[in-house]
Amino acid sequence: MKRLLMLLITILLLMSCRDMMNFISESDSENAYLDDLFGPDDPPSLKSPDEFRASRAGYPDKILLQWDSSKGADYYELEKGDLKEGPFTDMGIKIYGNSFEDRAVENGEKPWYRLRAYSRSLDLYSPYSEAVCGYLLSTPGAVKASKGASTQNILLVWEEVSGASGYDIYRSTDKVAPNNPYKSVSGIESSYLFTISESNQGVEFYFWVRSRNSQGSCSEFSSYSMGFALCEGAPPRPENLTAQQGASRDSIKLSWTEPEADFFYVYRWSDYNSQEENITPGGLSETTYTDSDTDALRSGARYYYSIQGVKKDEAEPAVHYKGAFSETAEGYLLSPPSDLGSHWRSGGVDLSWSGVPGAFTPDEIMNHKDWSYRIEYAGSASGSFSALTTISVGETDSAGKVSYRHLGASAPIFYRIVTQNGMGAESTPSSVDEPVTGAVGNLSAGQNSPPGGGESANTSGVYPVHLS
């Protein structure tokens, strides 16, 4: 019996060995190695950062960017642009962590960011992350208080701030903002109506607004706006205010219709500074005024004016009754372009610039058809400039830019532009611009060796690009 069992075991072992040898033989004949079972090694790769995010109305002075680590990454690179689809500009920094604070942001800007990782051991960049948008907890803009529109109320308005959960309103009788808000309102509000008592009629109040987020952080203070409720005895508001637009390169003349007032104040603010300023604190007896403040007036800026009439009390001349402000009038200097750019292109030089105040919007261009740009050139930046040509302000391209192609130009050459109005007045010359060499465009990189060979691909199989 034992011999029979041993014989059966031996037969089974021999059969198993034969089957194994047959399998190995068949596998050898079919080249069934591990590579055949599992495939070739995948090329090295680096995953783009996950959970890339940017703060929105989180801070008044920065945008905080955060992300999760990419396995194997040594550092990260950021790019920034104005649109989700780009173009993006490299911010020129290597980040050895998982966050970055961008403080180069202005109120109201909403930049887009994208991020990629880099591995030294792989000599490889990851794909870019999805683009994300961030913005500051911005200071409210366009804060305006009504000035004599009512005897019982002052209306305060401001521009809505993205991401704000509320607004704090400050009020004072002088130009120093108090520490504590006078009133707080919700984030859906963009105005507030103050009720003014009879004893406070004619009193000038100053108002500021700060935005607030859900975490309790606040923006900077807005510019102040002065407002008041009309008092009994105040004169009617001035009418028919006009301000010159591009008539002179160094002054803006105002005129208005005289109401029953003893004298007038002129207030001015601008597109770059919303702070209202009384520029005639001593008062005016005339109904015209020429603003020629060379320290305040800038080329390319738009200025806004309003007139206030004042009456003296007949019994007490030292007591003044201030009237409501006039409608606003816009004025500006005759200005040269501020962004002249030029570059060499085959056969000549291409010049372009944005329209100036008075020749910027379609309506302005229509009203100033007799305005023109005189293009001047010279052989050096400090040389004697000669007129090249004059073109109409209405000639703009699809991007809203004025452009001109100077055929046959030869280096060295420098350009500047003078704006002329229909009365023959001229602006100061623009800044001088020297053409730059045109940028190389339509570049691409592929996974094919360039003609002539002799180059090696990187770890992703991409060959160098040759520029000439």
Domain spans in the chain, listed from the N-terminal domain onward = 53-133, 144-227, 239-331, 341-437
Banded pLDDT at 458 (limits 50, 70, 90): low
Q: Determine the Cα–Cα distance for residues 446 and 450; give it in Å rounded to an integer.
A: 9
Q: What is the pLDDT of residue 3?
A: 59
| Among the ranges given (21-25, 280-284, 408-412), the one the predictor scored with the smallest mean pLDDT | 21-25
Q: Given this chain, do its domains 144-227 and 341-437 carry the same CATH topology?
A: yes
> Taking 60 as the threshold, does the pLDDT of residue 341 lie above it?
yes
71 and 100 Cβ atoms separated by less than 8 Å: no
Between β-strands 225-227 and 205-212, what pairing exists: parallel, antiparallel or unpaired? Answer: antiparallel
Terminal CA-CA length for the chain: 92
By residue count, the chain amounts to 468
| DSSP conformational letter for 456 | -
Instruction: Output the six-digit token pair for 61.
Output: 């002075």
How far, CA to CA in Å, does 381 sit from each of 72, 95, 388, 404?
Answer: 52, 41, 16, 20
> Taking 80 as the threshold, does the pLDDT of residue 37 lie above it?
no
**218, β-bridge pairs:** 212
> Taking 50 as the threshold, does the pLDDT of residue 442 lie above it?
no
Q: What is the pLDDT of residue 12?
A: 53
Mean pLDDT across the stretch 404-411?
Answer: 94
Superfamily holding 239-331? Immunoglobulins (2.60.40.10)
pLDDT tens digits, one per residue of 93-131: 999 999 999 999 999 999 999 999 999 999 999 999 999
Banded pLDDT at 43 (limits 50, 70, 90): confident
pLDDT tens digits, one per residue of 210-255: 999 999 999 999 999 999 999 998 999 999 999 999 999 999 999 9
- State which CATH number among 3.30.300.160, 3.30.70.2340, 2.60.40.10, 3.10.580.20 fits the domain covering 341-437: 2.60.40.10
- Give every CB contact of residue 177 below 8 A, 6+ residues apart in sequence: 170, 206, 208, 221, 224
- CATH T-level fold of 144-227: Immunoglobulin-like (2.60.40)
> Taking 90 as the threshold, does the pLDDT of residue 378 lie above it?
yes
Banded pLDDT at 315 (limits 50, 70, 90): confident
Banded pLDDT at 468 (limits 50, 70, 90): very low
Banded pLDDT at 25 (limits 50, 70, 90): very low
Q: What is the pLDDT of residue 175?
A: 94
Q: What is the pLDDT of residue 253?
A: 99
- CATH T-level fold of 53-133: Immunoglobulin-like (2.60.40)
- Helix-strand-coil percent breakdown of the chain, rounded to 5? 10, 35, 55
* Model confidence, pTM: 0.76
| Among the ranges given (189-193, 330-334, 396-400), the one the predictor scored with the smallest mean pLDDT | 396-400
| Among the ranges given (54-58, 288-292, 459-463), the one the predictor scored with the smallest mean pLDDT | 459-463
Higher pLDDT, 416 or 13: 416
Q: What is the pLDDT of residue 258?
A: 79
Residue type, 350: D
